[in-house]
Amino acid sequence: MTLTTSGLRKAFGGVVALDGADVEFVPGKVNALIGPNGSGKTTFFNCVTGMIKPDAGRITYGGKDLTGRAPHVVARAGVGRTFQLCRVFPRMTAVENVLAAVRPGGLVHGLRSAHRRAEIERAHGWLTRLGIEHLAGAEARNMSWGQQKLLELAGVLMAEPNTILLDEPAGGVNPALLDRIGTLVRDLNAEGRTFVIVEHNMDLVMSISDHIVVFDRGRPIAAGPPAEIRADERVLGAYLGV
């Protein structure tokens, strides 16, 4: 399903974070959203996922209007999201964190589901897939930053979204884990999931993306495949500073 925005605008006082952003991501592909700090990328994610309401414009997903809808409504529509700063339950174990993400019903439903063998097995399956099954019984607060990022992604995947938004998945992780994240994204995409990734690591972006959208001052200035974006003079000027 296609995720699109039309005329999306959001201001914080006198600061315009999004300025009439018209964006269309390619379904079934790995999309990247790049741009300099302050260009509106995270605000865009927050508007799309219902964390904040846009001042104007429209958000649609598979033809369904999600403009201003609550985060749980967006999630149930099939859009999952990770955060730049991991959002996990620090005093819950890894498997409890994954179960808490089961839809519908969120945390309460997920914990009650701990009595259901199928859901427990599915949670362990995602932990195994992401390489952290050995931490299933460990509290999240005792996990490394990179392991918490994988745990957060496992929770997102537990909800079975069709489209996954990743906010700086490479931030603060070591090179080995970065390679694993890149491989996971491509493997999960090959299974039919669409990705939209906000990321500053250009090596990662260029190696795994099929389609890149470039933001500057709250709106897209370029969109296309990596080779095209790499050679675009507008991108070089706005993002790379040359």
Higher pLDDT, 238 or 168: 168
In the numeric block, the tokens 């389609």 are attached to 211
Integer Cα distance of 11 and 16 in angstroms: 4
**Model's pTM, two decimal places?**
0.89
- Tell me the two tokens of residue 184: 């996971």
Locate the domains of the chain by residue range: 1-78+161-242, 90-160
Q: Which segments of the chain does DSSP mark as H helices, in order?
A: 41-48, 71-76, 94-100, 106-112, 117-129, 145-158, 175-190, 202-208, 226-230, 233-238
Coil, strand or helix: which one is 239? coil
Q: Tell whether the model's pLDDT for residue 114 goes beyond 60.
A: no
Higher pLDDT, 107 or 56: 56
Superfamily classification of domain 1-78+161-242 = P-loop containing nucleotide triphosphate hydrolases (3.40.50.300)
Coil, strand or helix: which one is 219? strand
Q: Which pLDDT does position 240 carry in this prediction? A: 55
53-89 pLDDT tens trace:
999 999 999 999 999 999 999 999 999 999 988 889 9
Report the range of poorest mean pLDDT among 145-149, 156-160, 170-174: 170-174
Neighbours of 146 (CB within 10 A): 21
CB 147 within 8 A of CB 139: no
Q: Tell whether the model's pLDDT for residue 117 goes beyond 90.
A: no
